[in-house]
């Protein structure tokens, strides 16, 4: 019974967050749950403060007014934080993704322990500013979440996920979810950008990671649930990888690999950073490197698409100029058609910059919506305990 009540509450809350304010009859139709059960569960959620009733809407024809149900405005918040190599950012957001509080601070920690501690302090400050009683949980991401066994060396931001999660839970006494960036990104687009419920998300950066939503839920569970495709072999690549293979994605398509080739060719100085691959004053040799990488991605991403068969694929990350982005997307489409005989729905997600704290908050939202009654009960216990 408890599991069924939570499942019904989850279906109701998910529909309202995705579709906006809706009435009880609409919820019954959208969720396939009886009107009686919907009414009973909605009443419970309203009593807990998880739902509110808006002003009644008068129907055009005959019939009783419709009372739309919605999530609270600032009485229920989710917090997201991101540990970037150069800074830590954190924000509190409504269940609709609207920012309520925001802070960022330069990264000063010299080791993993110090970096986790400064993140904990920043999150604590944001929770206090937003109002701890309103916060449902915290989502946290770190860059790319890949262990680097060789060059480049690990960054200070590459903290141990388990230690980060446990330390934050201990300090904040809130539900904490730590996941790779790409999984947070997939959930952000689903909950707050209206993306479809069957989408493969590919994130290009220091590593190449993928996340798949199927039926509006992430495939796999936990930080190590698939995603990292570092040692998938790129057809035609001859770059050696530190794993012993030739042509791995890690050695061919990542920003780290691209940066290493640029430094070895004398296009960038030793000590250059990933952002130096995309300078304001561009050069033709750098463009050629990026174009070659775009073509390599066009050969390997279709292999992933053909394996998981999503309804849509979105590519994220800095790939270069609009022409280089088009080269990548066009190559993916052509190769996919050669492999499976049909077109793939592929697009590059246009974004000037990623607000990773916002994406991280979607992790906390997704966790809450999976079992809202359980979370509301725990929340009440924390406030009275």
Asked if the structure places residue 140 within a domain, the reply is yes
Predicted confidence (pLDDT) at residue 385 exceeds the cutoff of 50 = yes
- List b or e across 72-89, with b for residues whose CB sees 16 or more CB atoms inside 10 angstroms: eeeebbbbbbbbbeeebb
Same domain, 338 and 363: no
Asked if the structure places residue 210 within a domain, the reply is no
Asked if the structure places residue 170 within a domain, the reply is yes
Task: Return d(Cα 141, Cα 357) in angstroms, integer.
Answer: 8
Same domain, 144 and 114: yes
- Last-in-domain residue among 14, 37, 70: 70
**What pLDDT, in 10s, does the model give residues 75-129?**
999 999 998 888 899 999 999 999 999 999 998 888 888 889 999 999 999 999 9
Question: Taking residues 6-20, what's their average pLDDT?
Answer: 93
- The sheet with strand 346-348 has its strands ordered as 217-218, 208-214, 198-204, 312-316, 346-348
The pLDDT of residue 222: 61
Same domain, 43 and 86: no
The C-alpha R_g of the chain, in whole angstroms, comes to 23
Task: Return d(Cα 37, Cα 23) in angstroms, integer.
Answer: 14
Burial of 352 (C-beta count, 10 Å sphere; 0-12/13-18/19+): exposed
Same domain, 146 and 246: no
Burial of 245 (C-beta count, 10 Å sphere; 0-12/13-18/19+): middle
Cβ(126)–Cβ(350) under 8 Å? no
The pLDDT of residue 99: 95
Calculate what percentage of the chain has a pLDDT beyond 90: 67
Same domain, 237 and 333: yes
The pLDDT of residue 49: 92
Q: Which of 92, 307, 330 is nearest to 315 (CA)?
A: 330
Same domain, 51 and 84: no
Asked if the structure places residue 116 within a domain, the reply is yes
Q: Which of 383, 359, 329 is nearest to 190 (CA)?
A: 359
What rounded mean pLDDT belongs to the chain? 89
CA angle 273–279–280, rounded 5-degree value: 150
Same domain, 90 and 172: yes
Calculate what percentage of the chain has a pLDDT beyond 70: 91
Asked if the structure places residue 196 within a domain, the reply is no
- Last-in-domain residue among 39, 70, 101: 70
DSSP codes, 43-94: HHHHHHTS-EE---B--SSSSPPB--EE--SSSSEEEEEEE-SSEEEEEEEE
**What pLDDT, in 10s, does the model give residues 91-101?**
999 999 999 99
Q: Which of 56, 72, 47 is nearest to 24 (CA)?
A: 56
Asked if the structure places residue 208 within a domain, the reply is no
The pLDDT of residue 148: 46
The pLDDT of residue 151: 44
Same domain, 111 and 55: no
Tokens 């934050």 correspond to: 168
The pLDDT of residue 186: 95
**What pLDDT, in 10s, does the model give residues 205-237?**
888 989 999 999 999 876 555 567 889 999 999
Q: How many helices (H) and strands (E) does the chain have?
A: 12, 12
Task: Return d(Cα 384, Cα 241) in angstroms, integer.
Answer: 55
Question: Taking residues 260-278, what's their average pLDDT?
Answer: 93
The pLDDT of residue 223: 55
User: Cα–Cα distances in Å, from 297 out to 41, 148, 167, 211, 293?
Assistant: 47, 21, 37, 16, 6
**What pLDDT, in 10s, does the model give residues 116-164?**
999 999 999 999 999 999 999 999 987 754 444 444 445 555 677 888 8
Asked if the structure places residue 127 within a domain, the reply is yes
Q: How many domains in the chain? A: 3
The pLDDT of residue 328: 96
Task: Return d(Cα 88, Cα 327) in angstroms, integer.
Answer: 34
Asked if the structure places residue 106 within a domain, the reply is yes
Same domain, 338 and 366: no
- Last-in-domain residue among 49, 70, 91: 70
Same domain, 145 and 235: no
CATH code: domain of residue 32: 1.10.10.10
* Confidence at 63, pLDDT banded by 50, 70, 90: low
Peptide bond into 271 cis (omega under 30): no
Cβ(357)–Cβ(89) under 8 Å? yes
In eight-state DSSP terms, residue 153 is: P
User: Cα–Cα distances in Å, from 54 out to 21, 36, 38, 71, 198?
Assistant: 8, 20, 17, 10, 31
Cβ(262)–Cβ(289) under 8 Å? yes
Higher pLDDT, 239 or 181: 239
Instruction: Show the domain range for 237.
Output: 229-310+318-348
Same domain, 341 and 243: yes
Task: Return d(Cα 360, Cα 177) in angstroms, integer.
Answer: 9
Same domain, 181 and 100: yes
CATH code: domain of residue 233: 3.30.420.40
The pLDDT of residue 18: 92
Cβ(230)–Cβ(208) under 8 Å? yes
């Amino acid at each position: 019974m408890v599991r069924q009540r939570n499942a019904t509450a989850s279906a109701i809350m998910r529909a309202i967050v995705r579709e906006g304010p809706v009435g009880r009859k609409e919820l019954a139709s959208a969720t396939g749950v009886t009107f009686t059960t919907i009414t009973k569960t909605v009443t419970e959620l309203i009593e807990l403060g998880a739902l509110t009733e808006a002003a009644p809407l008068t129907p055009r024809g005959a019939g009783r007014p419709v009372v739309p149900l919605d999530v609270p405005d600032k009485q229920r918040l989710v917090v997201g934080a991101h540990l970037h190599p150069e800074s830590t950012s954190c924000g509190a957001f409504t269940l609709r993704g609207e920012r309520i509080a925001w802070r960022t601070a330069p990264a000063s920690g010299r080791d993993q322990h110090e970096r986790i501690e400064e993140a904990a302090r920043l999150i604590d400050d944001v929770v206090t500013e937003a109002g701890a009683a309103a916060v449902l949980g915290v989502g946290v991401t770190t860059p790319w979440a890949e262990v680097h066994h060789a060059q480049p060396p690990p960054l200070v931001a590459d903290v141990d996920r388990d230690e980060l999660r446990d330390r934050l839970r201990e300090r904040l006494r809130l539900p904490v979810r730590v996941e790779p960036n790409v999984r947070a990104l997939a959930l952000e687009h689903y909950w707050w950008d209206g993306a479809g419920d069957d989408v493969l998300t590919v994130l290009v950066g220091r590593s190449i990671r993928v996340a798949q939503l199927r039926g509006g839920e992430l495939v796999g569970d936990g930080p190590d649930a698939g995603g990292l495709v570092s040692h998938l072999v790129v057809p035609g690549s001859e770059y050696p990888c530190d794993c012993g293979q030739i042509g791995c994605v890690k050695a061919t398509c990542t920003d780290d690999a691209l940066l290493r080739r640029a430094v070895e060719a004398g296009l960038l100085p030793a000590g250059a950073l990933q952002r130096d691959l995309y300078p304001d004053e561009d050069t033709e040799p750098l463009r050629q490197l990026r174009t070659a990488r775009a073509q390599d991605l066009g050969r390997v991403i279709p292999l992933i698409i053909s394996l998981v068969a999503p309804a849509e694929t979105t590519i994220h990350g800095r790939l270069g100029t609009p022409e280089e982005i088009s080269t990548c997307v066009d190559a993916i489409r052509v190769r996919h058609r050669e492999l499976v005989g049909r077109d793939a729905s592929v697009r590059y997600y246009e974004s000037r910059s990623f607000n990773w704290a916002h994406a991280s908050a979607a992790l906390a939202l997704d966790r809450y919506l999976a079992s809202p009654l359980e979370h509301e009960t725990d929340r009440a216990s924390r406030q009275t305990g």
